Amino acid sequence: MSSGYKFKSKNYEEALKESLNAFEPAVSIEYIPVTDAVGRRAAVDFRSRFDMPPYNMAFYDGYAVRYEDTIGASASNPKKLKIVGQVLKSGDEIGLAVTEGTAIYVSSNSPLPSGANAVVREEYTSREGDFVLVKKEVELYEDVVLKGEDVKAEEALIKKGALLRPQDLVLLMEMGIYRIPVYKEPIIAIASVGDEILEKFEKGNPYPDDYCVFISMLLRLVGVKTVLLGILRDNLEEITNTVIRNVERYDAIALMGGGSRGVKDLTGAALSSVCETIFHATTISPGKISGVWKVKGKPAFLIPGHIGSAIVCLYNFVIPVMSKIYYDGVPLLSKVNAKLAIDVEARQGLYTVRTVSLSSKADGTLVATPLLKRLGGSALLTTLSKAHGYIIIPPGMKLSEGSVVEVTLFSPFESLDFVKESKSY
């Protein structure tokens, strides 16, 4: 290389371990309205503040009764009970009680009055003045939601690090929790490196660095904000100055391209001139020229320019390191087990990454189909566009058809594609 910079490959597992150990946690937590928290990560464990419902509750509009008083009731042989009150909302039940031969009108979701142990739906009754005719026998606690049946006091609701869904957040609102602590999303600045990319722009391509945009979009899906710094020339000083200028502004820096051994590949040299090198080059394929550096306590990543290699670097180095520093090590990627559709094997001396598509059999078995019948493919986009995730095969290992493998999903959206198909509306 013209800069005189040299680098040596490091074992993948060793490179990952050293990358994780190189950085101290720098977690930041912010409180936001629960209505803004969809897709964020919970920064604490959430437990129920009280039983829910907090009292025995009528599930339907109807009459609160003693179920014993309805035994034998039918349309042809109704049971006649005296109406002694009504409960339309919480607090109305105070001072009221159901006793033998009586009933109290209740609205849906209202507290069950003392003495009642069942509800007769309104459609199974008719009213005669101060009496109700019950035309259906009911069982003990029929159409009653018991105190704490939904959630018990102190029951675990949401685990720290969980990706918050609408159904999680409405549960918190029911608990009276309206502002919640979440992990503050870190910001990574990303730049493409390469004269050839600038040439595309000069020829009218509005997105010559579309791979960089792609990486940015994937990071946003796992809770990492991004800022695109644009395209850098293959110039040692320009690359170095970009790192120095932006390290204070952002939580991490990623440079895409210029990491190999060509005469114009200067990214590794630039990073090594102002950062502490953790590793540059490793035994995972695609992604062999990935790299991690440390500058002012923050990570700087070298992401290979080939798209398949870039993805491997992103998922196996960038995201784990960002999780360690800014998310307390919470796993930001989901994994599923699946059975291989065909035999696959790894190269000797290399951890081999294979993208897979997932499908679900009629019996629910998840099947992983590798998208290439040969090794390689780091520059082929369809190995990603048709894939839901990837597997890692240890060096020299052969996995047979039917073997159970762990698949790392590319994003939370992937499961939408391989679940059983629904009928169109």
The per-residue DSSP string of 38-71 comes to TT-BBSS-EE-SS-BSSS-EESSSEEEE-GGGGT
Domain annotation for the chain: domains and CATH numbers:
12-28+184-326 (3.40.980.10), 30-52+151-183 (3.90.105.10), 57-145 (2.170.190.11), 335-418 (2.40.340.10)
Place of tokens 């320019």: 305
pLDDT at residue 375 greater than cutoff 50: no
Reported as a single tens digit per residue, the pLDDT across 212-221 is 999 999 999 9
Reported as a single tens digit per residue, the pLDDT across 382-404 is 778 889 999 999 999 999 999 99
pLDDT at residue 255 greater than cutoff 50: yes
Q: How far apart are CA 130 and CA 406, in angstroms?
A: 67
pLDDT at residue 422 greater than cutoff 90: no
pLDDT at residue 86 greater than cutoff 80: yes
Place of tokens 């792609």: 214
Rg (alpha carbons) of the chain, rounded to whole number: 31
Helices 236-246, 267-274: crossing angle, 10 deg rounding: 50
Paired residues of 151 in beta bridges: 52
Question: Which phi and psi (to 5°) does residue 300 adopt?
Answer: -125, 125
